[in-house]
């Protein structure tokens, strides 16, 4: 059985917004990896365990950024050529995150698109099982999760997420990430630099999951179910007049704050979403700070 087609709900947009520009995806991918490598070098230079939480947060934030490039490859809008989209999407950004796109993340994510705003949304059964769409959410609760996740207490939820997107129908596909991680471990062991491997793992467990969960809170949680409209529409800055560069770096890279627009037009690449927001004005944009009550 072939993979399901990318969900599409509306198409009445300028053709330019659907244009796939692979060089943008590649450029962002290289910049994300360069930031990760630079952080490893900074940690080695500073040589202090007290810098580890900061390094894990920075690396984790870039891991999430790579995950959003996985997302575009999942929707087949990273590259125009299908095999290139699949091969580079898997090897350059998905496998390093221990994710398999085909038969793994893709069918799970497409089910999320199809069942958004219903009890059949698979996201509700993975990392947000305690937070259905209409459950009250406060910033105090969001930040409490953020702190505990930075300490590694989100490991169980991370495991549930990875279990949910496992390629059960073709389990052999997990050999790609397994082989990559085995080679990574062997290389760092041979170079007497196992700390690199361990810091990478900790950055996934703590840094990545902390920023990832913050982002997911702002996407669909705490909003009344309304079908395909079950998404918050917000600006990335706490202040609507501020660009919110730190928030975009840590929590909302690659225009992921345009999640409302993405669900309405899932075949629009991430770099075209801000332009889409200017065209699609069906709902007002809420400042991030007004998304949830403080307490």
Q: Strand, coil or helix: what is 222? A: coil
Token match 């390094």: residue? 55
Greater confidence, 293 or 63? 63
The residue with greater pLDDT, 280 or 271, is 271
What is the number of domains present in the chain?
Answer: 1
Is the pLDDT at 132 greater than 60? The verdict is no
Q: Tell whether the model's pLDDT for residue 268 goes beyond 90.
A: yes
Q: In this structure, is residue 10 part of a structural domain?
A: no
The residue behind tokens 């894990």 is 56
Please give the average per-residue pLDDT across 100-120, as a whole number: 92
Domain assignment of residue 88, given as a range = 15-290
Mean pLDDT within 200-214: 96
pLDDT one-digit tens code per residue, 213-227: 999 889 988 787 777
Question: Is residue 198 a part of any domain in this protein?
Answer: yes
HEC-encoded secondary structure of 143-154:
HHHHHHHHCCCC
- Rounded to whole angstroms, how far apart are CA atoms 261 and 281? 10
Q: Which of 159, 98, 167 is nearest to 127 (CA)?
A: 159
Residue environment code for 264-291, b if the CB has 16+ CB neighbours within 10 A, otherwise e: bbbbbbbbbbebbbeebeeeeeebbeeb
Instruction: Note whether residue 143 is domain-resident.
Output: yes
- How far is 237 from 217, CA to CA, in rounded Å? 15
pTM summary value = 0.91
Tens digits of per-residue pLDDT, 252-263?
999 999 999 999
User: In 110-121, which positions are buried (b, 16+ CB within 10 angstroms) versus exposed (e)?
Assistant: bbbbeebbeeeb
Q: Which residue has the tokens 């950004």?
A: 93
Which pLDDT score, from 0 to 100, does residue 253 have? 96
Under a CB-based contact definition with an 8 Å cutoff, are residues 238 and 285 in contact?
A: no
User: In the prediction, which pLDDT does 11 show?
Assistant: 56
For residues 92 and 189, what is the distance between their CA atoms, to the nearest angstrom?
22
pLDDT, position 129 = 47
pLDDT at 55: 97
């Amino acid at each position: 059985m072939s993979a399901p087609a990318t969900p599409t709900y509306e198409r009445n947009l300028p053709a330019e917004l659907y244009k796939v520009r692979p060089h943008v995806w590649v450029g962002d991918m290289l910049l994300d990896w360069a930031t990760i490598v630079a952080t490893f070098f900074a940690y080695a230079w500073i040589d202090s365990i007290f810098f580890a939480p900061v390094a894990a947060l920075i690396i984790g934030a870039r891991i999430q950024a790579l995950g959003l490039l996985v997302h575009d490859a999942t929707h087949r809008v990273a590259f125009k050529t299908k095999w290139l989209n699949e091969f580079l999407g898997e090897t350059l950004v998905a496998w390093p995150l221990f994710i398999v796109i085909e038969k793994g993340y893709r069918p799970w994510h497409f089910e999320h698109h199809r069942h958004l705003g219903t009890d059949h949304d698979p996201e509700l059964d993975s990392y947000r099982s305690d937070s259905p769409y209409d459950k009250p959410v406060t910033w105090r609760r969001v930040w409490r999760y953020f702190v505990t996740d930075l300490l590694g207490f989100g490991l169980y939820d991370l495991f549930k997420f990875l279990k949910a997107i496992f390629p059960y129908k073709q389990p052999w596909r997990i050999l790609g990430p397994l082989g990559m991680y085995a080679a990574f471990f062997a290389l760092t062991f041979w170079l007497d630099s196992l700390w690199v491997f361990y810091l990478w793992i900790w950055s996934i467990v703590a840094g990545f999951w902390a920023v990832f969960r913050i982002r997911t809170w702002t996407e669909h949680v705490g909003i009344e179910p309304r079908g395909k409209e079950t998404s918050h529409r917000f600006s990335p800055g706490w202040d609507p007049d501020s660009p919110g560069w730190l928030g975009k770096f840590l929590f909302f890279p690659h225009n992921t704050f345009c999640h409302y627009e993405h669900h309405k037009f899932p075949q629009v690449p991430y770099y075209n979403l801000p332009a889409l927001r200017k065209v699609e004005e069906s709902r007002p944009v809420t400042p991030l700070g007004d998304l949830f009550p403080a307490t």
